[in-house]
Amino acid sequence: MESPHLEQLEHTFAQHYRTLRGAYLVRAPGRVNLIGDHVDYSGLSVLPMALQRHVAILYCERHDSTVRVVSTDPNYTLRSFDLGPSIEPYPEGDWGNYAKAAGQALAQRCGELRGFDAAVHSDIPVAAGLSSSSALVVAAALAVLHANDIEMEKLLLAELLTEAEHYVGTRGGGMDQAICLAARRGSASRIDFNPLRLTAHPIPPDWGFIVAFSLVRAEKSATGRETYNLRTRECRDALQRVTAALQLADRIDSYPALMAELPPADLVSRAEEALEGTLLRRFRHVVSEADRVHRAERALIDYDLKGFGRLMTESHESLRDDFAVSCPELDELVEITLRAGAAGARLTGAGLGGCVVTLVTERRANKVLKALAKRFYASREFEGRLEDQLFLAEPSAGASVAAL
Ligand code: GLA
């Protein structure tokens, strides 16, 4: 971790608590999904990588069950609660609920637990679709486990924390927790669900992924959440209608099982008979995106930059036209990067705001970064530095705990 961040953490810790003796540092990365959005909650594979940006927690264990957390960001003031199987939440939107979510889930599973005093620092842009909330839940969970000398298998913990995020009102498909915990440095990972499994693939040395924030914070807004939940229902309804029409309903109840029956193009043409309008478009996105993930994985293994880029751009078009989760700012970012010579670009994460991810050759990276700075950011106002909205992603390792 960059030392200015560590200094900030130590300073905040010292301001609120006692000595740092016996302190540990937990780091949980944000993520960018390279391809495969809005398919994980249908049980279909995705291909994200962890970022060099983290939630970091500096903590000292306590001898009772109290957890105290405070942030280096003065907007997030001290929170204090006791660990237990049924923790009363703070009001909706309170940052302390992310630590409570982890604490309650682990107390339900592991019984009585010791708490800790902690300072939190994050350099993952908040509500930008880079999974800063899941990183906070993961970091808090690792602090609880480590303070109690409990070892838990990463993927088991990822599944537990996917459920645990219900506590803050959202339940994603499980991609974020899995990549945050189990990512490998230098690689992207294909994540399969039911059972959860990660397969790491090295990112070719001359490929670069640029992350550009649209400056639209939608993921945690009421509309963002409603749209997300609506899409999960639409996907389920579409599946039921298609399996009923194909007379497969008695033995097929998931997208992966359906996709094992027929090739994607055939499924879409059969769906055209069973569905129309919105549900047909949602279904077409899910099935075509699942297919793109597998082709993109192949392209990654073959170092086929053009092929991978083309699939990313197709994915964006599908998320925009069939899944209706883009917005003008995301479309504009994609257009700017493609015009500047990127191999491909797409919105990443839940959409309706958040970030775009763009594939470039190392040689082209500066040109694309400059085009974005000039054509998108120069005319807009934003908080913080340009480097926080626009940066080259470094494929990073999953979460860790280390003695200070
Ligand atoms: C959010 C969820 C993920 C996933 C993406 C869309 O980030 O947390 O599980 O569904 O949206 O791909």
Domains and their CATH numbers in the chain: 3-34+45-202+397-403 (3.30.230.10)
Ligand 1 binding pocket includes 172 (Cβ within 6 Å): yes
Nearest CA to ligand 1 atom 11: 350
Distance 30 CA to ligand 1 centre (A): 13
- How do residues 63-115 score in pLDDT, each as one tens digit? 999 999 999 999 999 999 999 999 999 998 899 999 999 999 999 999 999 99
Q: What pTM was computed for the model? A: 0.97
Place of tokens 């069973």: 274
Mean pLDDT, residues 285-293 taken together: 98
Q: Which of 32, 34, 37, 51 to mutate to test the pocket of ligand 1 (most atoms within 8 A of CB)?
A: 37
Helix then strand count (H, E) for the chain reads 13, 12
Ligand 1 binding pocket includes 176 (Cβ within 6 Å): yes
Please tell me which residue in 37, 176, 291, 322 is annotated as part of the active site: 176
- How do residues 226-277 score in pLDDT, each as one tens digit? 999 999 999 999 999 999 999 999 999 999 999 999 999 999 999 999 999 9
The whole-angstrom separation of Cα 314 and Cα 331 is 13
- How do residues 306-365 score in pLDDT, each as one tens digit? 999 999 999 999 999 999 999 999 999 999 999 999 999 999 999 999 999 999 999 999
Tokens of 167: 């506590």
Distance 41 CA to ligand 1 centre (A): 8
pLDDT over 80 (residue 3): no
Ligand 1 binding pocket includes 117 (Cβ within 6 Å): no
- How do residues 128-151 score in pLDDT, each as one tens digit? 999 999 999 999 999 999 999 999
Ligand 1 binding pocket includes 96 (Cβ within 6 Å): no
pLDDT over 80 (residue 174): yes
Nearest CA to ligand 1 atom 1: 350
pLDDT above 70: percentage of residues in the chain: 98
Ligand 1 binding pocket includes 289 (Cβ within 6 Å): no
pLDDT over 90 (residue 404): no
Nearest CA to ligand 1 atom 3: 172
Cβ distance 47 to 188 under 8 Å? yes
Write the burial class of residue 45 (CB in 10 Å: 0-12 exposed, 13-18 middle, 19+ buried): buried
| Ligand 1 atom nearest residue 165's Cα | 8
The whole-angstrom separation of Cα 222 and Cα 102 is 22
Distance 88 CA to ligand 1 centre (A): 26
Cβ distance 67 to 28 under 8 Å? no
Known catalytic membership, residue 117? no
Distance 5 CA to ligand 1 centre (A): 28
Ligand 1 binding pocket includes 224 (Cβ within 6 Å): no
Ligand 1 binding pocket includes 37 (Cβ within 6 Å): yes
CA distances from 291 to 53, 307, 319 (A): 30, 14, 14
Distance 114 CA to ligand 1 centre (A): 32
The total of other beta-carbon atoms located within 10 Å of residue 173's CB is: 22
